[in-house]
Structure 1
Amino acid sequence: MKSIKVLVAGGGIGGLALAVALRERGITTEVFERAKSFGNTGSGIELTPNGVKSVDHISPQLGAAVRSAGWSSDQHATDMPIKTWNGKLLKSREVGNFQAKWGAPMIGILRADLHQILAEAVRRPGPTSATVHHQATVVEASSSGGTATVRLADGRSLSGDLVVGADGVRSTLRTLVAGEVPPRYLGFTSIRGISKRPAVHGDGFVFVGPGGHFFAEAFDDTRLFWTATVNADEHSWPAKDTEQARADLLDLWGEWSAPLAETVTSCAPEDLVVTDVHDCEPLKRWHTGRLVLLGDAAHPIGPVLGQGANMALEDVASLADLLTEHDVPAALRHYGRVRSRRANKIVRHSRLIARLGHTTSPLVGQVRDVLIRSMKRREETYRDKELFSYTP
């Protein structure tokens, strides 16, 4: 294989994972991250079996580190309950059999811990170099012939064989590759936190109710992370300070069944993160010339299926393999065709589930609850078969 150099815009989970994957495969990589340093990057991530298998494929050493830092579904003492807001059990999620059934467990891990593991993996010696540049914002990129170039905010220009846009939901590279495809607000805010394990359902739980959804997952033997998604006007919740956001969530949902209120109350304000939730219209084009998209830049996904980071890791495993098997133009054609088909389908499905999950209509809510109950009578749901059976 001809030696190539890849430039990556964005040092989030997708960008750093790609640097690790390419370095492991003998491809030189430079990552350009706008932040001064890697700090607190949110609460937690549920790595589902498809994401865990992708991590293992990127690097077995990386897979071992993730397992060591997180809490595996194999360690769950009980199944994860899915309940109505007033405590009626709709379904128990049988997470303990994921390894046997899908070839990998589910792992709950702090986002900051996963980010740190990836940053350390980038710094480890390997067949080629992988370098992260901080305070380096990519403001422009171009492709001509066999060369791709990025221009940084400080005026510098650097060239390589390929530029990857891993620069998130408000991607600069997306506009260059696919035209104007702006993020679209999904109608709800995400409030995320870290708390002590509650007295009941300490391994994790899910509640669904009028206008919102609450998910919690353990990441060690004393703590869990959680996400509440609340119907709201855009910008309204992010404008609050974290103490006010926690108090308002308790006012809104404090009467929901235990242990929701206990979980929210035990979250320190500094461990709370509030963001509006966006996706975008599925893209018809993922690359142009030698510019290509990855992760949220290509397919922002609402949190209801828990697939944002998992899809990014799938992208990384696929693109890294293709770049070792084909020349750059052929690799990008294969990548865009295969990954867009899968990711775009999941974006659409996630948006549909979000509408059901956040309904304020009692009738639609009853339909939603019946659908969840019906999953108990199915051996495999969409979530299981379509998502977890994936192997890189």
Structure 2
Amino acid sequence: MKIAIVGAGIGGLTAAALLIEQGHDVSVFEKKDAVSELGAGIGIGGNVIDKLNNHDLAKGLKNIGQVVDVMEVLDEKANPLSKIKLKKNTVNLTMSRQSLLDVIQSYVPDSAIFTNHYVTDIENGDLKVTLQFSEQPSQSFDLCIGADGIHSNTRQAVAPNNKPIYQGYTVFRGLVDEIDLKDGNVAKEYWSSKGRVGIVPLLNNQAYWFISITAKENDTKIHAFAKPHLQARFNHFPNEVRQVLDKQSETDILLHDMYDLNPLKTFVYQRVVLLGDAAHAMTPNMGQGAGQAMEDAIVLANCIQTYDFDMALQRYNKLRVKHTKKVIKRSRKIGKIAQRTNKFVVKVRNKIAQIIPNQLISNQTKFLYKSKEK
């Protein structure tokens, strides 16, 4: 089958690697002039590693990933609010986004990736789908996979009414080297009325950090924050937070307002299939954005290998729409709880968090491991 993949990100390249391995003629179209990821660190949960089974890509991920098996939430004085032990008998990994992309790309031939290809329109039909480009001739395919992110041109062509929705907070991110964290297998978040700070260990004494601050969309005051502003705002936080910000360079801090999508009712539109953020962009509160994109790719490839064309797309739709809807809503809910700014509300929230049994909180993520592969 001749397949176009729009977007050379994590989900698109995973789909390309698996479908090329099955013998399909795959072309990946990337609008930028290089395959790269703008981001700091990322987590890939055991739900993804499990679905890869014994595929060599799983081994590649394990080689670059730091194993994290506990997630702790604390207040700004390091008093514990909750402690979640991640699922036993599986591997949860953290790594830099670029490292993840590089590993996945190593399974895709360079000849299959076409950079500087900006898709302007898609002509969708019962027998073929045609991609229009800004500078290159149009091309027709049996299937088009839209993996071009939250601001997807592919989604715009097939579901134009579904737009990104601002979720009320902006996030700073960075990577630091030579950091000595107390617990190398524990990811931590510190919650306060001024925002929350996350610190995630990576391999080789690196760490990924983020700071999430409630703000208006495109808030000029918050967007003007640099390292000194963050240090001053969170100077009363525990030493681990101050140490990470001290080691962060002045120039390599990323900043993004947080958006997601209202769940779509379908990811399949004749011969166009949506995948990853193009289909179900979600806030990062469950650390599942990249993982769900990779799951999409795995499930889609499995379905194409197992069923005839129409049944494969129907099965992919059935397995992924309902599951990712749950992740979007759960992640959105966590964000609303975590981003409270009223000091009294924060105090009450923290007290409630300390009362809820950790096992009950852990059970809230079990559904991630129960989604089917095909």
Q: TM-score, normalised by structure 1?
A: 0.88
Q: 1:282 to 1:139 in 2, by over 3 A?
A: same
Match of 1:68 in 2: 63
Contact 2:9 2:37 in 1 (8 A): no
Q: Secondary structure of the equivalent of 2:112?
A: strand
Segments of structure 2 that go 5 or more residues without pairing to the other structure are none
Amino acid aligned to 2:112: T
Tell me the residue number matched to 1:141: 122
Q: How does 1:310-329 map to 2 (within 5 A)?
A: 310-329=291-310
* Distance in structure 2 (CA, Å) of the matches to 1:385 and 1:164: 29
Tell whether the 8 Å contact from 1:206 to 1:216 is kept in structure 2 after alignment. yes
Contact 1:7 1:162 (8 Å CA) reproduced: yes
Q: Distance in 2 between matches of 1:112 and 1:282?
A: 28
When structure 1 is superposed on structure 2, of 369-378 and 110-119 the one drifting more is: 369-378
Matches within 5 A, 1:1-392: 4-39=1-36, 41-54=38-51, 56-57=52-53, 60-73=55-68, 79-95=70-86, 98=87, 101=88, 103-123=89-109, 131-196=112-177, 197-203=179-185, 204-236=187-219, 240=223, 244-378=225-359, 381-390=362-371, 392=373
Aligned-residue offset at 1:383: 3.9
Taking the aligned partners of 1:40 and 1:266, their CA distance within structure 2 comes to: 22
- SS class of match (1:259): helix
Superposed displacement of residue 82, structure 1:
1.9
Amino acid in structure 1 at the alignment position of 2:139: L
Taking structure 1 as reference, are residues 377 and 14 closer, same or farther at Cα in structure 2, changes over 3 Å only? closer
Corresponding letter in the other structure for 1:218: P
Give the match's secondary structure for 1:298.
helix
Q: For residues 389 and 104 of structure 1, do their structure 2 counterparts lie closer, same or farther at Cα, with a shift above 3 Å needed?
A: farther
Q: Distance in 1 between matches of 2:294 and 2:221?
A: 28
Distance 1:25-1:165 versus aligned 2 partners, 3 A rule: same
Sequence identity (%): 25
Task: Please provide the CA RMSD for this pair.
Answer: 2.2
Cα displacement (A) at 1:326: 2.1
Determine the C-alpha separation between the residues in 1 that align with 2:358 and 2:222. Answer: 43
Q: TM-score if structure 2 supplies the norm length?
A: 0.92
Instruction: Please give the secondary structure, in 1, of the residue aligned with 2:15.
Output: helix
Deviation at 1:376, TM superposition (A): 3.7
**CA distance in 1 between partners of 2:7 and 2:227 (Å):** 30
> 347-356 or 321-330, which moves further after superposition?
321-330
Aligned mates of 2:206, 2:363 — CA distance in 1? 29
Distance in 1, matches of 2:372 and 2:228, equals 42
The size of the alignment, in residue pairs, is: 371
| 8 A Cα contact 1:190 1:230, kept in partner | yes
Q: Any idea what the Cα deviations from partners look like across 1:48-84, whole Å, max 9, x if unmatched?
A: 1112223x24x7211111111111237xxxx553210
> One-letter code of the match for 2:58?
G
Change (3 A) 1:92 1:237: farther
Unmatched 5+ residue regions in structure 1?
125-129
CA contact (8 A) 1:237 1:275 kept: no
